[in-house]
Structure 1
């Protein structure tokens, strides 16, 4: 029997309800638990994400080195252009999207609170650079 049987990614932010709404729409997830300072969602494939209130939250400065990358979420998708339109429509913004002249295998974004995440085609095989 495993000692640790599960886990959840937790992002600190100023407004957990609002950020949970962003990710629930993006992932077509449902809210499974909510308290005044924490909201948890679960996608159809079982991915769990919790958003926890931090009254002193500041957005990560990534890719700048000060207050750099604090957490990183990675999602997979088949149609990166369609996903990008949805992210922007929900209030997220592109970051380092690569060559704008055509599709790329991975694209970086920030959610409405400034947390970075990537959407990629397939599984990452290259090491992290920087």
Structure 2
């Protein structure tokens, strides 16, 4: 039997407090200092658990990569009827659009870069529970 585990996606950045606040506001979550002073956690009531780590030598990723290599990104599920509002919210918080064309219906996927340059997607899905 497997030992119970939790997973936390950790994003590197140069300004961890600012990036933590970006994701907390975007996801309706809260921030708290991690056990390491270079780590801030983003915790939400609906199971959201991310962390950001201050990396003093951080260089933002590029998207899309010229060689079409896979790259990790967050997928944030949003009901189809809320996609436009979620896009306005993300941009208002400092996200940079990468590819935001409306792909229509349940296949609508819109890509952005967070303030530190990590890519994330707003993805049309069934309404959140």
Q: Which secondary structure state, in structure 1, belongs to the residue aligned with residue 20 of structure 2?
A: helix
Alignment partner of 1:81 is 2:84: yes
Give the TM-score, by structure 2 length: 0.83
Show structure 2 runs of 5+ residues with no match: none
Kept in 2: contact 1:105–1:120 (CA 8 A) = yes
- 2:19 is aligned to 19
Per-residue displacement from partner, 1:49-106 (whole Å, max 9, x unpaired)?
A: 000011111111110337x664210110121100111111111111111259x77611
Show structure 1 runs of 5+ residues with no match: 124-130
Q: Which secondary structure state, in structure 2, belongs to the residue aligned with residue 18 of structure 1?
A: helix
- Structure 1 vs Structure 2 CA RMSD: 2.3
Give the TM-score, by structure 1 length: 0.82
Higher share of residues assigned helix? 2
Match of 1:110 among 105, 113, 118: 113
Per-residue displacement from partner, 1:16-40 (whole Å, max 9, x unpaired)?
A: 1000000000001012433420000
Structure 1 residue runs of 4+, over 2 Å off? 1-4, 32-36, 68-71
- 2:44 is aligned to 43
Kept in 2: contact 1:62–1:69 (CA 8 A) = no
How many equivalent residue pairs? Answer: 122
